[in-house]
A and B are shown apart, each in its own frame.
Chain A
Amino acid sequence: MKILIVDDFSTMRRIIKNLLRDLGFTNTAEADDGNTALPMLQSGNFDFLVTDWNMPGMSGIDLLRAVRADDRLKHLPVLMVTAEAKRDQIIEAAQAGVNGYVVKPFTAQALKEKIEKIFERVQAK
């Protein structure tokens, strides 16, 4: 299981990386916005994407849309972990095809639940 963590703040990437390691996911890579993440995804055999929304360069929602528009990546599970908390935005992300949405500040428990739920669904398919 290879996971890409995309967030412009290195501290947040580090927190997510640590929480993922606690959940048993040790194979992670990091990117600081959509522009750096997309080529990594296209060439890196990632199984899961965790992304922030608000980032300089390419935002998380645009990254999500680019992933869904790419034939080889469109089935990649995407979890959004973001401070964006407007209802319109959550609906927008859902319509763009997000698999899970966690609002910051979040707990380790919330992140764990969402990730497990996404994998359950992916495996059920």
Chain B
Amino acid sequence: MSLSKDPGQATAQEFEHSLKDNARQLVDHLEQGDFAEALLVIHAINQARDRGLYHEVGQLTRALHNSIVNFQIDTTHALDDVNDTSKISDASDRLDYVVKLTDKAANRTMDLVENIAPKVSGLGAEATSLRADWQRLQRREMAADEFRELYKRMDDFLDKVETISTDVSGDLNNILIAQDYQDLTGQVIKRVITLVHDVEESLLNLVRMAGQVDRITGVSHTETVSETKKPTTKGEGPQIHADTREDVVSGQDEVDDLLSSLGF
């Protein structure tokens, strides 16, 4: 969307020029006692003001309309065609997709880890128990029956190591593959960032145009930016740029320092 930087600037200047000229005429007429002429000038001033105003409001409306068309904001919610989907609701869908994909990847990874962990610790436990008997064999403390049993166990154990290490390599590979969400979500998030940037720019343009309307009507707004402190109970989520901010800790060490300074 390309709007000129100060869309209503010319209209506002034109109006101000004509206001100055008319004001001088008005004073002249009044000083000469020509009230009929003076009233006509006042009328002309009003007309110029209205004309500028209509012009600006018209531009504002058009810009707003363009923004809506450009973002295809869906106000009807009757979507027959995928192409009718607005970019905004498309962006929410996309972010929803990111949430789903990251959730799926996290759970898939944890499934695989939970699958591997008991197998590996089982192997470890079996190796420990085998080693004890193996050492007894080395010390020649083992009867022939026991040895036959150990022989069989060792054979089973080696089979098991083979199978489990194949399983584990497979699972590790699957864990690796589960990280492919990063690429997909990264692309989606980048597109949404572009959209947010576009919306911000369009809104800024609308604000500029609205400012010109204010100039013509002479309306001045008293700033009512409330500096009310947000209640912290809801929480804010992860902090960005934590390392460059004074009011935010950048890691567990700083949390520990802060708490110990409070007597923890």
**From B113, B235, B236, B258, residue with most partner A Cβ within 10 Å:** B235
With A59-B233, A89-B232, A90-B259 given, is the CB distance from A83 to B110 under 8 Å?
no
Is A11 touching B107 in the complex (CB atoms < 8 A)? yes
Is A54 touching B247 in the complex (CB atoms < 8 A)? no
> Would you give the shortest CB distance from B260 to chain A, in whole angstroms?
11
With A61-B232, A61-B235, A84-B235 given, is the CB distance from A14 to B110 under 8 Å?
yes
> Would you give the shortest CB distance from B257 to chain A, in whole angstroms?
10
Which chain A residues lie closer than 8 Å to B248 at the CB level?
A: 85-87
Q: How far is the CA of A101 from the CA of B114 in the complex (A)?
A: 27
Chain A positions 26-66 with a Cβ under 8 Å from a chain B Cβ:
53-55, 59-62
Which chain A residues lie closer than 8 Å to B107 at the CB level?
A: 10-11, 14
Is A54 touching B236 in the complex (CB atoms < 8 A)? yes
Q: Does residue A103 face the partner (Cβ distance < 8 Å to B)?
A: yes
Chain B positions 128-158 with a Cβ under 8 Å from a chain A Cβ:
none
Is B237 touching A15 in the complex (CB atoms < 8 A)? no
On B, residues with C-beta under 8 Å from A are 103, 106-107, 110, 113-114, 232-239, 242, 247-252, 255, 258-259, 262, 264
> Nearest CB to that of A101 among chain B residues?
B255
Q: How far is the CA of A55 from the CA of B237 in the complex (A)?
A: 9
* 13 A/B residue pairs, CB under 8 Å, sorted by A: A11-B103, A11-B106, A14-B107, A18-B113, A18-B114, A54-B236, A61-B232, A85-B242, A85-B255, A87-B248, A90-B255, A94-B264, A107-B252
8 Å CB contact of A87 from B113, B114, B237, B249? B249
> Would you give the shortest CB distance from B87 to chain A, in whole angstroms?
27
Q: How far is the CA of A101 from the CA of B110 in the complex (A)?
A: 25
8 Å CB contact of B259 from A60, A85, A94? A94
**From B252, B258, B264, residue with most partner A Cβ within 10 Å:** B252
> Would you give the shortest CB distance from B14 to chain A, in whole angstroms?
51
Enumerate the 3 nearest inter-chain pairs by beta-carbon distance, A residue then B residue, closest first. Answer: A54-B235, A11-B106, A83-B238
Q: How far is the CA of A56 from the CA of B173 in the complex (A)?
A: 36
Which chain A residues lie closer than 8 Å to B249 at the CB level?
A: 85-87, 90, 103
With A11-B110, A14-B107, A14-B110 given, is the CB distance from A87 to B235 under 8 Å?
no
> Nearest CB to that of A15 among chain B residues?
B110
* Contact digits for A61-99, partner B, Cβ 8 Å, 1 yes 0 no: 110000000000000000000111111111110100000
Is A62 touching B255 in the complex (CB atoms < 8 A)? no
Which chain B residues lie closer than 8 Å to A84 at the CB level?
A: 235-237
> Would you give the shortest CB distance from A67 to chain B, in whole angstroms?
14
> Nearest CB to that of A58 among chain B residues?
B233
Given contacts A62-B233, A88-B247, 9 further A-B contacts (CB under 8 A): A14-B107, A15-B110, A54-B235, A60-B235, A88-B232, A90-B258, A92-B232, A94-B259, A103-B252
